[in-house]
Amino acid sequence: MALTTLSTTVDAENAGRVDLVVRQLSGSSRSQVRGMLDHGCVSINGQRCDKVAATVVAGDVVSIRFDPTQRYHEKRKRWDDRTFTVAFEDEHLIVADKSAGTLTVPTDRNEDNTLVERVSVYLSHSRSKRKAWLVHRLDREVSGLVVFGKQEQIAARLIEQFKQRKPQRVYTAIVAGVVPRDEGTFHSHLATGKNLDRYVTRPSAETEVAITHYRVIRRMSDTTLVEATLETGKRNQIRVQFADAGHPVLGDPRYKTEQAKHPRWIRKRIALHARSLGFEHPVTGEAMHIESPLPAAIEKFLAGSR
């Protein structure tokens, strides 16, 4: 199909955003104009322009070279955000790969830049302009996968799966000391102290059952790389149980902090990463399995260990 070329010289009345000039020149919709900019159809004074909000002044020549029969779709913009990256997304849900140091939800201090806020901002930039509905959480200094529903009813279906212990949640951790058993299960009752720290105690009406299955991946001279699979998902569960067993997660500021220190673990974060998430898609019923690569801090530590 032959391409059409249209040009106009901007006058004082039409000076301003280039997308408005292109729209008037071509008679196209806003989305079509954004698509033409993304696909290199627009130039200003002979130089390609791909910025929707680029400014033109009187005397500038705006040209478009395009196929009038083609639908120009906007290219998906890369989401640049230090709090998370997108591990999976469809029209019903999104799985975020959370960075360590990011709160999942605000506390009583009303912090900003929480994960739920940033994912909601991300969704507000999409055509659907949906809100992020939280399904589960990760501790602030833990990185890894967190799933959100794009509608409240989708989140509710996912939450019900978590209540029934259906999702598979696998974590990778570096713990202090050499774990002697190749694999095992922690079956504990957890309580909460006045300072909000969790601890293992005897069963009572106030305690919560916490079950974690683990296996050793690699033993090093004074640390162990382990894989932990949650059967339950209680707050601080993995951290408390490994600390109670004498093997706190490296860098943990709450549980056996002195033992959790290591001369080569210099990051503020803790060495715990939510690596794998499996669940049933709440709409299609498809078995979903999302993986997250190990963060650089853990990879660097392992590379220097023996």
**Domain harbouring 49, CATH code:** 3.10.290.10
- Tell me the C-alpha distance between 257 and 242, whole Å: 12
In a domain, 71, yes or no: no
In the predicted structure, residue 38 carries a pLDDT above the cut 90: no
DSSP SS3 for 303: helix
Residues 195 and 266 in one domain: yes
The CA-atom distances, in angstroms, between 150 and each of 75, 158, 168, 215 are: 21, 11, 21, 34
pLDDT band at 106 (very low <50, low <70, confident <90, very high): confident
State the burial class of residue 299 (Cβ atoms within 10 Å of its Cβ: 0-12, 13-18, 19+).
exposed
- Neighbour count for residue 53 (Cβ, 10 Å): 10
Residues 58 and 195 in one domain: no
- Tell me the C-alpha distance between 249 and 240, whole Å: 9
In the predicted structure, residue 240 carries a pLDDT above the cut 70: yes
3-class SS shares of the chain: helix, strand, coil, % to 5: 20, 35, 50
Residues 47 and 190 in one domain: no
Domain that holds residue 32: 4-66
Residues 37 and 161 in one domain: no
Beta-strand pair 272-280/143-149: parallel
Residues 46 and 133 in one domain: no
pLDDT at 119: 92
Residues 61 and 103 in one domain: no
Residues 20 and 137 in one domain: no
Which of 66, 97, 113 is the endpoint of a domain? Answer: 66
In the predicted structure, residue 305 carries a pLDDT above the cut 90: no
Instruction: Render pLDDT for 52-90 as a digit per residue (tens, 0 to 9).
Output: 778 899 999 999 999 888 888 877 655 667 899 999 999
pLDDT at 126: 64
CATH code for position 259: 3.30.2350.10
Closest-CA residue to 292 (of 271, 277, 275): 275
pLDDT at 34: 86
pLDDT at 235: 94
Residue type, 304: G
Closest-CA residue to 302 (of 118, 174, 126): 174
In a domain, 157, yes or no: yes
Q: pTM of the full predicted structure? A: 0.74
Instruction: Render pLDDT for 221-238 as a digit per residue (tens, 0 to 9).
Output: 999 999 999 999 999 999
In the predicted structure, residue 127 carries a pLDDT above the cut 70: no
pLDDT at 52: 78
pLDDT at 14: 85
Q: How many domains does the chain have?
A: 2
DSSP SS3 for 156: helix
Residues 39 and 163 in one domain: no
Instruction: Render pLDDT for 249-300 as a digit per residue (tens, 0 to 9).
Output: 999 999 999 999 999 999 889 999 999 999 999 999 999 999 999 999 999 9
Residues 209 and 278 in one domain: yes
First to last CA, the chain: 63
In a domain, 143, yes or no: yes
Q: Which residues pair with 219 in a beta bridge?
A: 224
In a domain, 94, yes or no: yes
Closest-CA residue to 2 (of 69, 72, 49): 69
In a domain, 134, yes or no: yes
In a domain, 269, yes or no: yes
pLDDT band at 155 (very low <50, low <70, confident <90, very high): very high
The 8-class DSSP code of residue 124 comes to H
In a domain, 76, yes or no: no
Phi-psi region of 40 (alpha: psi -120 to 50; beta: other; left: phi over 0): left
Residues 45 and 166 in one domain: no
Residues 29 and 93 in one domain: no
The 8-class DSSP code of residue 159 comes to H
Where does 51-201 show beta strands of DSSP type E?
55-56, 61-66, 84-89, 93-98, 133-134, 143-149, 168-176, 183-192, 198-201
Residues 139 and 283 in one domain: yes
In a domain, 174, yes or no: yes
pLDDT at 125: 72
Two tokens, residue 207: 């305690």
pLDDT band at 194 (very low <50, low <70, confident <90, very high): very high
Two tokens, residue 138: 């990760």
Residues found in the chain: 306
